[in-house]
Amino acid sequence: MTILETTRRNSIAEVTMNRPDFFNALSFELLDALIETFGELTADDSVRCIVLKGAGPAFMAGGDIKMFKESLDLSPADRAEKFTKDIKATEPLVRAITAARQPVIAAVHGPAAGFGVSLAAMCDLVYASSEAYFMMAYVQIGTSPDGASTWFLPRIVGYRRAMELALLGDKFNAETAERYGLVNDVFPADKFDDEVNRIAERLVQGPPLAHAQIKRLFKMSTTNDLDDQLAAEVESFAEMSSSNDFAEGVSAFLEKRKPSFTGRKK
């Protein structure tokens, strides 16, 4: 069984985590496959949207608790050394997803717990099935969050709400996740795949160069002051105005037709 499956359709790359018997818990093998796959897809100009999914009943149930149990045989010092190495090993995945030029969608159809919440939060858009639920869960095993969730969540749901989710570790449903701002929209379970695909199809019809710039500008805004952000917007708009996509978009608007974006700069 392939631990990670990738399918392509109309410039959409669907990446499916395939450990259904373990609720797609993050193993070293799955982590390595995710890092390699996102590295390949984000460098491929023919891919305009990436959809991350989970096989079976869950999106991702977080870390592998059986592996955590095995670590209890180590001394406290050795255990700390092991998890320092293990947690740092997830950083290339965080960077690969957040650095992607293409929009990355998390399609959460079932439980997302622990690192599963982190994984969804690091994507650009998150859509949930009505049967999905979320749970930070780290406090349940006496530890603190990883996967950059302490960076993403305060920026997505706000400081107070992020603290509540992490400190209490309660389970919350898809509708609550949407109300918090963690999820963009919730779709009925029987229509979930079709709705996510509809959005992905819209994205691949959009201008890939502009999508990349939009992502870059929003990321910069978290550290820029207002003057720096204004300057970045000027630079970005000027660069986009020299692209074929800009010329096509303006022409299509005036001619009242659907634009055909190619992603070519000139």
Q: Would you say residue 106 lies in a domain?
A: yes
Range of the domain at 175: 4-204
**Domain match, 170 and 218 both:** no
CATH code of the domain in which 222 resides: 1.10.12
Q: For residue 55, what pLDDT is reported?
A: 98
**Domain match, 173 and 240 both:** no
Q: For residue 17, what pLDDT is reported?
A: 98
**pLDDT exceeds cutoff 90 at 154:** yes
The mean pLDDT of 187-206, rounded to a whole number, is 97
Cα–Cα dist 236/230, whole Å: 10
The mean pLDDT of 247-257, rounded to a whole number, is 96
**Domain match, 224 and 178 both:** no
Residue where a domain terminates, one of 204, 222, 245: 204
**Domain match, 61 and 179 both:** yes
Q: Would you say residue 260 lies in a domain?
A: no
The mean pLDDT of 44-62, rounded to a whole number, is 96
DSSP 106: E
**Domain match, 93 and 214 both:** no
Q: Would you say residue 261 lies in a domain?
A: no
- Joined tokens for residue 112: 């997302």
Q: Would you say residue 262 lies in a domain?
A: no
* % of residues, the chain, pLDDT over 90: 93
**Domain match, 99 and 63 both:** yes
Residue whose token pair is 């859509």: 127
How confident is residue 126, by pLDDT bands cut at 50, 70 and 90? Answer: very high
- Joined tokens for residue 170: 């309660």
Q: Would you say residue 196 lies in a domain?
A: yes
Average pLDDT score over the chain: 96
**Domain match, 61 and 178 both:** yes
How confident is residue 64, by pLDDT bands cut at 50, 70 and 90? Answer: confident
**Domain match, 74 and 125 both:** yes
Q: Would you say residue 266 lies in a domain?
A: no
Cα–Cα dist 109/87, whole Å: 26
**Domain match, 172 and 249 both:** no
**Domain match, 236 and 199 both:** no
Q: Would you say residue 68 lies in a domain?
A: yes
- Joined tokens for residue 160: 């107070």
**pLDDT exceeds cutoff 80 at 170:** yes
**Domain match, 185 and 145 both:** yes
CB contact at 8 A, 116 and 59: yes
- How many structural domains is the chain composed of? 2
Comparing 162 with 69, the larger pLDDT belongs to 162
Q: Would you say residue 265 lies in a domain?
A: no
Backbone angles phi, psi at 19, to 5 degrees: -125, 60
What pLDDT digit, counting tens, does each position of 14-39 carry? 999 999 999 999 999 999 999 999 99
* Nearest residue to 162 (alpha-carbon basis) of 172, 171, 174, 152: 152
What pLDDT digit, counting tens, does each position of 66-112 carry? 888 989 999 999 999 999 999 999 999 999 999 999 999 999 999 99
CATH code of the domain in which 53 resides: 3.90.226.10
**Domain match, 184 and 228 both:** no
